[in-house]
């Protein structure tokens, strides 16, 4: 047999351990001495297909056969040699000869055929069936998905158009499959879809030409693109669609088609739009109300002040007391309106920041100078401890001053006796400011609420109220806009310390 005939060293071979029985049909070409034809058959659950060449003369039992056999799952032909064990000739009608042949096959090591055969053997699967099965399964997956999906092949013909896609576009799979009319589901004029561009291996420039700034590369799938657009011709009134198109590749990486999934985001867009409008209306309302309030407030405030300071004639002690009360409350109202507007601006990102290189120690010194008298009136010891040679960092001096004033104000307001100390320090890549007081402290359960807007904690032991509940919320926003952090530590009966840090590098928020 062949083992004996071809004992060449490097030619390893693998032997099918049983015969492959092949039924083959040979188209007889009379003038040629060689018959060629297609063969196909199954042995040991391996399906083979191929072309064979047989010399007419040798077509008898025992003659050698040269076969080129294709395994369906592999495009490379496998060169096999075998031996005709027996043959039978059947005369057919149109000059076709039918042979039934048993061949014992050997394969010689050409490239990785060796590996290939041994891969197949243990599987004992009918490759063709496996393939058909997997194709069917793929179809079912696409069909069964509730996400509108279609697939095109490398000739841009539609191969899949699932139920969800039918109901989204209103066009049946029947009308689509096997055609290149996929564009008509989305546009009124013919133009390529994202899948077509991918199959055509379009350049980034071409894609941008069709989708402008509405598309981007998928972050998840290599070679895929996603886009969002409004399609006037989809549905009754048009639809916003979000779609992702990804290439389908063969084992060698060649593009053999593309798949596109679509998402109807019309409703989301509508909700987003009305939410945005509602936010805008709310902002405008707050803005308008605050402005409208300021004008009468200005008149009230001045009118009270004029009477109170005696400019309009003398007043008695009791009158003065009540006017003081009125003034205090007008001032409080003014602060509330101011803070509400500030917070509104911060929330809408409309607050302007004037970021410049500044020295935090200078800010602290300024505050110490302006607020010492207030602390003195309350009988508190107000001091500062500054770290030498802090780097100048970029921040909005007015805004950071506002934060510190707010914290120090609170400290002074809530501390009955003892001290308020501002310290500055340097941490890793940041500058830290801390304000420590010897006040009543804040209960642990209240700490998380502290920076929420409109939160005011119950005053300790009948202490003073009168803030707006926005001061710390604003402070937090301001510090965070500087990419800093603000936090608080407190112990009941011992006092409270507010800390905030500002980064040394890279400021703009």
Partner 1 sequence: MARKILVVDDESDIRRVLEFRLKNAGYDVIGASDGESCLRKAKEEAPGLIILDVMMPGINGFEVCKLLKEGDKTKDIPVIMLTVLAGEVDLSKGLEKGASCFISKPFNIIDLLWEVKTIIAGEKKGKRNTKSKKKISPGRKKKNRGGKK
Residues of this chain that interact with partner 1 (CB under 8 A) are 287, 291, 294-299, 301-303, 305-306, 311-312, 331, 334-335, 338-339, 341-342, 345, 350-352, 354, 366-367, 370, 398, 401-402, 405-406, 409, 471
Least distance in angstroms from the C-beta of 264 to partner 1 = 40
Q: Which helix H or strand E contains 396, and what residues bound it?
A: none
Please state, in angstroms and as integers, the Cα–Cα distance from residue 329 to each residue in 47, 142, 333, 467, following that order: 94, 68, 6, 11
Residue 46 makes CB contacts below 8 A (sequence gap 6+) with 20, 71, 120, 121, 126, 127
CB-nearer residue toward partner 1: 133 or 302? 302
CB-nearer residue toward partner 1: 82 or 471? 471
CB-nearer residue toward partner 1: 413 or 489? 413
What is the sign, positive or negative, of the torsion defined by CA atoms of 214, 219, 225, 231?
Answer: negative
Which residues partner with 48 through β-bridges? Answer: 41
Please state, in angstroms and as integers, the Cα–Cα distance from residue 166 to each residue in 138, 386, 487, following that order: 18, 71, 55
CB atoms within 10 A of CB 14: 17
Least distance in angstroms from the C-beta of 298 to partner 1 = 4
Distance CA 143, CA 162 (A): 5
Least distance in angstroms from the C-beta of 477 to partner 1 = 14
Tokens of 434: 């801390």
CB-nearer residue toward partner 1: 98 or 303? 303
CB-nearer residue toward partner 1: 48 or 286? 286
Least distance in angstroms from the C-beta of 358 to partner 1 = 12
Distance CA 166, CA 161 (A): 7
Tokens of 491: 């112990």
CB-nearer residue toward partner 1: 265 or 297? 297
CB-nearer residue toward partner 1: 135 or 362? 362
H and E: helices and strands count for the chain: 12, 22
Least distance in angstroms from the C-beta of 171 to partner 1 = 52
Distance CA 73, CA 48 (A): 10
CB-nearer residue toward partner 1: 379 or 466? 466
Least distance in angstroms from the C-beta of 455 to partner 1 = 17
Least distance in angstroms from the C-beta of 292 to partner 1 = 8
Distance CA 502, CA 425 (A): 11
Least distance in angstroms from the C-beta of 296 to partner 1 = 8
Least distance in angstroms from the C-beta of 439 to partner 1 = 19
Least distance in angstroms from the C-beta of 432 to partner 1 = 21
CB-nearer residue toward partner 1: 120 or 297? 297
Quote the radius of gyration of the chain (alpha carbons, Å): 42
HEC profile of 170-230: CCCHHHHCCCCCHHHHCCCCCCCCHHHHHHCCCCHHHHHHHHHHHEEECCCCCCCEEEEEE
Is the CB of residue 372 less than 8 Å from the CB of residue 365? no
CB-nearer residue toward partner 1: 131 or 336? 336
CB atoms within 10 A of CB 259: 20
Residue 149 makes CB contacts below 8 A (sequence gap 6+) with 142, 160, 162, 164, 165, 259, 260, 261, 262
Least distance in angstroms from the C-beta of 394 to partner 1 = 14
Least distance in angstroms from the C-beta of 354 to partner 1 = 5
CB-nearer residue toward partner 1: 79 or 294? 294
CB-nearer residue toward partner 1: 330 or 393? 330
Q: In what order do the strands lie in the sheet with 13-15?
A: 13-15, 106-108, 78-83, 64-70, 46-55, 34-43, 20-27, 96-103, 89-91
Tokens of 319: 């009158």
Picking from 175, 136, 176, 185, the residue whose alpha carbon sits closest to that of residue 158 is 176
Least distance in angstroms from the C-beta of 417 to partner 1 = 24
Tokens of 147: 């996400």
CB-nearer residue toward partner 1: 123 or 309? 309
Distance CA 71, CA 112 (A): 14
Tokens of 283: 């902002």
């Amino acid at each position: 047999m062949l083992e004996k005939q071809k004992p060449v060293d490097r030619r390893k071979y693998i032997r099918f351990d049983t015969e492959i029985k092949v039924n083959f049909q040979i188209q007889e070409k009379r003038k040629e001495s060689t018959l060629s034809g297609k063969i196909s058959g199954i042995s040991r659950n391996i399906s083979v297909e191929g072309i064979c060449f047989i010399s007419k003369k040798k077509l008898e039992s025992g003659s050698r056969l040269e076969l080129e056999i294709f395994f369906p799952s592999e495009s490379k032909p496998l060169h096999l040699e075998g031996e005709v064990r027996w043959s039978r000739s059947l005369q057919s009608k149109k000059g076709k000869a039918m042979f039934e042949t048993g061949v014992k096959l050997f394969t010689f090591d050409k490239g990785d055929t060796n590996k290939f055969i041994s891969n197949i053997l243990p599987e004992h699967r009918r490759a063709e069936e496996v393939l058909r099965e997997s194709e069917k399964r793929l179809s079912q997956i696409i069909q069964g998905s509730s996400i509108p999906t279609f697939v095109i092949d490398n000739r841009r013909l539609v191969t899949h158009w699932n139920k969800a896609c039918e109901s989204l576009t209103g066009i049946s799979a029947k009308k689509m499959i096997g055609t290149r009319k996929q564009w008509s589901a989305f546009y009124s004029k013919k133009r390529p879809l994202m899948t077509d561009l991918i199959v055509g291996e379009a350049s980034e420039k071409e894609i941008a030409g069709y989708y402008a700034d509405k598309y981007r590369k998928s972050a998840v799938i290599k070679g895929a693109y996603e886009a969002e657009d409004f399609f006037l011709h989809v549905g009754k009134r048009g639809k916003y669609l979000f779609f992702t198109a990804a290439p389908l590749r063969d084992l060698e990486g060649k593009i053999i088609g593309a798949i596109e999934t679509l998402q109807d985001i019309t409703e989301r867009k509508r909700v987003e739009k009305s939410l945005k409008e509602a936010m805008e209306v709310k902002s405008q309302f707050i803005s308008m109300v605050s402005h409208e309030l300021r004008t009468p407030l200005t008149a009230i405030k001045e009118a009270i002040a004029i009477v109170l300071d005696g400019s309009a004639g003398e007043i008695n002690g009791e009158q003065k007391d009540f006017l003081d009360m009125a003034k205090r409350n007008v001032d409080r109202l003014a602060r509330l309106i101011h803070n509400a507007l500030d917070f509104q601006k911060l929330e809408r990102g409309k607050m302007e920041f004037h970021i410049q290189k500044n020295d935090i120690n200078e800010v602290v010194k300024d505050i110490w100078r302006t607020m010492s008298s207030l602390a003195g009136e309350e009988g508190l010891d107000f001091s500062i401890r500054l770290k030498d040679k802090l780097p100048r960092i970029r921040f909005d001096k007015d805004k950071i001053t506002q934060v510190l004033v707010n914290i120090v104000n609170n400290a002074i307001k809530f501390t009955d006796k003892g001290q308020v100390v501002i310290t500055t320090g340097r941490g890793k890549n940041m500058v830290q400011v801390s304000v420590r007081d010897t006040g009543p402290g804040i209960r642990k359960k209240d700490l998380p609420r502290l920076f929420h807007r409109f939160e005011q904690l119950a005053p300790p032991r009948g202490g003073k109220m009168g803030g707006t509940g926005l001061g710390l919320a604003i402070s937090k926003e301001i510090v965070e806009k500087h990419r800093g952090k603000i936090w608080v530590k407190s112990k009941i009966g011992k006092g409270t310390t507010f800390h905030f840090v500002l980064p040394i590098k890279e400021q703009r928020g």
